[in-house]
Each structure stands twice: as C-alpha cells, then as structure tokens.
Amino acid sequence: MTTVSFSLNGKQVSADVPDNTLLVNFIRETMSMTGTHVGCDTSQCGACVVHVECESVKSCTMLAAAAEGTSVTTIEGIAHDDGLHPMQQAFHENHGLQCGFCTPGMVMAAIELVKENPDPSETEIREGLEGNICRCTGYHNIVKSVQAGARMMGE
C-alpha cells in the first residue's frame, strides 16, 4: 500500500491504495468521481484523458502514485461557476457528442490541444485528436466543436 495525495479539481485528496493502482482507478473508484472513463486496456482510446499539471494524460497509463503532489483536473473540474467551460459549450452548440462516453476524454484533450495551438486548422485538430476514439459522431462535429471552442477560449 502507498499513500497518494494530490490536488483533484482544486481539492486536496489523499488515500492509501495498492502500489499498482492506476490514476484512473484512483479517480473513479477511490474518489468515486466517474466522469473519467475507461474504454480500452491498451492505452489507445483516450476516454480516460485528464490533465496533470495542465497537460493531457491518459490516466489509464499512469500510476496514481506518480501523480503525488501534483494538481489533477478531470472533466468534473473544468466548468466555471457561471456555466460550462467554453469547450464544453462548443461541444453542446455543435452536437459534438452522442452517447457521451468518449466525451470527457475528448473535451480534455481538446482543451489541451487549443492551449498548445490557439487557432488550429481542421487538419491540426484531426491529427491532434488522433489518440481519442469516438464511435458515434464520425468526428465531423467534434472538429467543428473544437474549432468553435478555440474561438470561444480566445475571447
């Protein structure tokens, strides 16, 4: 067992977990925060993307212990007090989600993508989201959402 402590969506959390606990399981099971999803077992789908120190991370590939002392943000932690994060709002406006299962990872990856590249082209968005699989939308509206989200984040 090991004690893991970090800031989760701005709140300090701490728990004793087996050494091999993955960050995604720590978030979903230990912390009962189920917005972050698990879609695969080979680090290929991106449903589990969270931000660790403001960088996108597939939380299924990281040990919880490796997040010790960091600041972790999940889909539950990005909305502002006065409403949705611009990227969430853009996904809503542009029908960038259907079943919603890939959505948390997709939105988290998109936010990071726009932080790196505030005005991404369609190709840059498509290539940037290559690590996130969506089976429902055909990506067309996700690309539109990210373009709109980038504009809104820039405002």
Partner 1 sequence: MPEGSTKDGIGASLRRKEDKRFLTGSGRYTDDITRPGQLHVHFVRSVHAHANIKAIRTDAAEAAEGVVAIYTGEHVAADGIGGPICGWVVTNRDGSPTNEPPHPILANGTVRYVGDHVVAVIAETLEQAMNAAELVEIDYEVLAPVVDLANAASGAQLHENVPNNMYFDFELGDEAAATAALDSAATVVELEVRNNRLIPNAMEPRAALAEYDHIDDAYTLFTTSQNPHLTRLVIGAFMLNIPESKLRVVAPDVGGGFGSKIYVYPEEAVCTWASKKLRRPIRWTADRSESFLADAHGRDHINKIRMGLDKDNRITGLRVDTLANLGAYLGAFSVVTPTILHAPLLSGCYKIPAIYTNVKGMATTTARVDAYRGAGRPEATYLLERVMDTAARQVGMDPAEFRRMNFIPKDAFPYQTPVALQYDIGDYEPPLDKAMEMIDYKGFEARRAEAAGRGKYRGIGLSSYIEACGIAPSAVAGALGARVGLYESATVRVDPTGTVNVFTGAHSHGQGHDTTFAQIVADKLGIGVGSVEIIHGDSDRIPFGMGTYGSRSLAVGGAAIVKAVDKIVDKAKIIAAHLMEAADADVVFADGKFTVAGTDNEKGFGEIALAAYVPHNYPHDRLEPGLEETAFYDPLNFTYPSGTHIAEVEIDPSTGVVDLVDWACCDDFGNLINPMIVEGQVHGGIAQGVGQALLENAHYDETGQLITASYMDYCMPRADDLPNFKVDYTVTACTHNDLGVKGCGEAGAIASPPALINAVIDALAPLGVTDMSMPASPEKVWRAIQSAQAEAAE
Between residues 62 and 90, which has the closer beta carbon with respect to partner 1? 90
Distance CA 25, CA 63 (A): 9
Between residues 14 and 34, which has the closer beta carbon with respect to ligand FES? 34
Q: Which pair of structure tokens corresponds to residue 16?
A: 């004793």
Note whether 129 binds partner 1 by CB under 8 A: yes
Q: Please, what's the b/e burial string for 45-78 (b: 16 or more CB within 10 A of its CB; e: otherwise)?
A: bbbbbbbbeeebbbbbebbbbebeebbbbbbbbb
Nearest one of 65, 58, 59, 76 to 5, comparing CA atoms: 65
Region binding partner 1 by CB under 8 A among candidate stretches 51-59, 63-71, 100-108 = 100-108
Between residues 18 and 118, which has the closer beta carbon with respect to partner 1? 18
* Closest distance to ligand FES from the beta carbon of 87 (Å): 15
Are residues 36 and 28 in contact, defined by beta-carbon separation less than 8 angstroms? yes
**Radius of gyration from C-alpha coordinates of the chain:** 15
At residue 52's C-alpha, the angle toward residues 68 and 37, to 5°, is 105
Between residues 40 and 118, which has the closer beta carbon with respect to ligand FES? 40
For partner 1, the binding residue among 13, 52, 66, 136 (CB under 8 A) is 136
Contacts to ligand FES by CB under 6 A: 38-40, 43-48, 58, 60, 97-103, 134-137
DSSP 47-60: TTEEEETTEEEETT
Footprint (CB under 8 A) of partner 1, residues 11-70: 18, 28, 32-42, 44-45, 47
Footprint on this chain of partner 1 (rule: CB under 8 A) = 18, 28, 32-42, 44-45, 47, 74-76, 79, 84, 88, 91-93, 95, 97-104, 107, 122-123, 125-127, 129-130, 132-143
